[in-house]
Chains A and B, each alone.
Chain A
Amino acid sequence: MLFFALLVAVIFSFSFDPNAEEARRIVGGLAWIAFLFASTVALNQSWARELRGQVLDAFRASPAPGNSLFLGKSIGNFIFVLAIEAVLAPIFIVFYNLRSIGSEWQLVLVFALGTWALVVNGTFFAALSARTRIRELMLPLLLFPISIPALLAMVNATTIVLTGEGSPRFWINLLAVYDIVFTIVGLLLFDTVLNAE
């Protein structure tokens, strides 16, 4: 999936040949498109090992609460996707000759919050999709519409920080609220999904 995201970066590089200022405006959107596709590929795999090894049955038999599995899985996916982003971000910086006008630490915050938003819902929906005939297709079908507010926030916050125009405060707050709301909803409902066998 690294190659996929890399491919996206390269192709966009060819189609738009922006100068430094234009680059700062558009890279936010491009980067998050690349990360979204890369994380979808990663998330589709995320329950594969458990399903193959019948780990879920063993888990259900144990006294451990279902939402701890969910949390653990989400954190694992989160670290994995962050690792991919850590590799891709420098590539974007190089290809687009980026230099952020706003604070880099804010960018890190945006990336962390945004990635969690995608991963926490993605992990939940991957578990739902695993029980369908069109597994790989179902995950993006479920994930994309529901993630739109978070995507809007991620892209706008990234662009604002890169261009230095205005404050990303509202978008960061929105991402934080989104993360909290959907983490709670996921934790509350995961037992239901786990026990649906």
Chain B
Amino acid sequence: MPRNLIIAYIATWGIHIGYLLILSGGFRKLARELRELRSRKEE
């Protein structure tokens, strides 16, 4: 199988997985900020 074909398919999924990681990072940050805001309100 040609080298570029493999690179292309791996690159495609690499980019998609990269974006999924960015998204999950975003969700983690959101959860963290919500927690901080709530604990601040309880003070």
Do A and B interact directly, with beta carbons closer than 8 Å? no
Chain B residues in the interface with A (C-beta under 8 A): none
Chain A residues in the interface with B (C-beta under 8 A): none
